[in-house]
Amino acid sequence: METGPDSLFVTLLFLLHSSHSESEKFEVLGPTDPIVAVAGDDIILPCYLKPNISAEDMTVDWLNLDFKDGRVYRYQNRKIIREDQIPSYIGRTSLFKEELWRGNTSLKLTRVQGTDEGRYKCFIKALSWYDDFTIQVLVKAVGSKPVVSIEGHREGGMGLLCESEGWHPEPELAWLDSKGVHLSAGPPETHRDFKGFYRVKQHVIVQETNTNRFTCRVQQSRINEKMETEVHLPSELFDTTPWRISFIVLSCLGAITVIGLSLAIYCICIKKEDITEKLDELRKERGK
């Protein structure tokens, strides 16, 4: 075995390298409680280095762990890297450039939408060290006041439809009578739009009651929000169409019969009068 200048050089390099790594060791920190974001708002996802060394020459990756592919944001070689950015984040994310020198790698996310909910990883890599921190983001959106439409006679009752949109997370829809008792309704239908907001709708068939008041309630208990719409149906609406038609037809028939009969009686009377008059005239002539 030889211990020449070569191995000394390697040892020196190794020593230099490890002292270098030593100086770059850091922790990545952020909030441990979830961040609750209101849809449409701008939010900051806090993340920073401890000790507060500069991150200007590091790689800063922000990932949404619910997306298999792509990134929320990447900063590398002092530039923003736009390749592989998840489409829904394009144009909505930024770092605070003026804060990087003191280890602040917080992310600004604008115009929060439903698809932003999830676990975000702030991953920071230096030449020979890396660490990360994961933050939970919850998105809250209160949807529209339910819209109730009358669909007409259905299976011996009145068909109603309730719709509400713009919710996050997914809300629950319920149909209630005037006493607040749940009515049995059709299957709930839920759709999620491209921004991740929920639209719900549900059909119900109601029978006539003494108040004819019905309520559609859409609520999200996790965010403690609800929206309601009450409808009052006039009781004439419950008259079923076949019954009305037969009523009208019968009335018309009745009227025609009455008119016909009176005409007949009138004619008979006139004729009777005619005949008696003529007979009278004849008798008078004979008597002359």
Ligand X SMILES: *[C@@H]1O[C@H](CO)[C@@H](O)[C@H](O)[C@H]1NC(C)=O
* Half-sphere CA count of 100, side-chain side, radius 13 A: 18
Under rule CB under 6 A, residue 20 binds ligand X = no
**The binder of ligand X chosen from 16, 44, 150, 267 (CB under 6 A):** 44
Task: Please report where in the chains the tokens 């390099």 appear, as a residue.
Answer: 13
Taking CA 203 as the corner, what is the angle to CA 201 and CA 209, rounded to the nearest 5 degrees? 130
46 interacts with ligand X by CB under 6 A: yes
Location of structure tokens 């792509």: 70
> Counting contacts by CB under 6 A, is residue 246 touching ligand X?
no
For residues 105-134, which are near ligand X according to CB under 6 A? 106
Cis peptide before 51 (omega within 30 of 0): yes
Distance of CA 150 to the CA centre of its chain: 21
Q: Which of the ranges 9-17, 40-48, 77-85, 217-225 carries the binding residues for ligand X, by CB under 6 A?
A: 40-48
Pick one of 85, 94, 104, 229: the residue that binds ligand X (CB under 6 A): 104
Binding residues among 165-224 for ligand X as defined by CB under 6 A:
none
Say which amino acid occupies 243.
Answer: W
The answer for residues whose C-beta is within 8 angstroms of residue 12's C-beta and 6 or more apart is none
Examine residue 99 and tell whether it contacts ligand X (CB under 6 A): yes
Q: Residue 181 corresponds to which tokens in the numbers above?
A: 């008792």
Q: Residue 44 or 256: which CB sits closer to ligand X?
A: 44
Residue 162 CB, nearest distance to ligand X (Å)?
Answer: 42
The distance in angstroms from the start CA to the end CA of the chain is 177
**Rounded Cα gap, residues 231 and 149, in angstroms:** 9
Closer residue to ligand X (CB): 96 or 194:
96
Which is nearer to ligand X, 48 or 89 (by Cβ)?
48
Smallest gap from Cβ 67 to ligand X, in A, equals 24
Q: Is the peptide bond before 169 cis (omega within 30 degrees of 0)?
A: yes
Query: Smallest distance from the beta carbon of 101 to ligand X, in angstroms?
Result: 7
Whole-number Å distance between alpha carbons of 95 and 103: 12
- Whole-number minimum distance, CB 48 to ligand X, in Å? 4
42 lies in the site for ligand X, by CB under 6 A: no
- Closest contact distance (angstroms) between CB of 51 and ligand X is 7
Q: How many residues does the chain have?
A: 288
Total residues at interface with ligand X (CB under 6 A): 9
Residues within the interface to ligand X (CB under 6 A):
44, 46, 48, 52, 96, 99, 102, 104, 106
